[in-house]
Amino acid sequence: METRIAERCGRNWRGEGTSSRRLGGFAGAMGNGEAVMRDAKRAVNFAGSDPRTDGAAIPEQPVLPALSAQK
């Protein structure tokens, strides 16, 4: 468990029979990941990227419907 996580979380896990040891913040041994979640109802994407990697969650401008030609 990284030192960025509160020690009480480790105590809770150990209380459930899980072993853990403390590692420095953003330790490479913890692995990494990126994720994208789509809310289709609102047509919105949410994303996150672990700072240990070369990924990035970069916002995009929404695609707006074309305006009707004025008569």
Sequence ranges of the domains in the chain: 7-49
Sorting pLDDT into bands at 50, 70 and 90, what band is 71? low
Q: What 8-state DSSP symbol labels residue 38?
A: E
Residue 2 pairs with which residues in a beta bridge? 23
C-alpha distance from residue 13 to each of 7, 29, 45 (Å): 10, 19, 32
pLDDT higher than threshold 90 for residue 47: yes
pLDDT at 68: 59
Average the pLDDT over 45-64 and give the result.
85
Please give the residue that has the higher pLDDT: either 3 or 26: 3
Residue 54 is given by DSSP the state S
58: nearest Cα among 70, 46, 41, 71: 46
Query: Which residue type sits at 66?
Result: A
Beta strands in the chain (DSSP E): 34-39, 44-49
Q: Sorting pLDDT into bands at 50, 70 and 90, what band is 41? A: very high
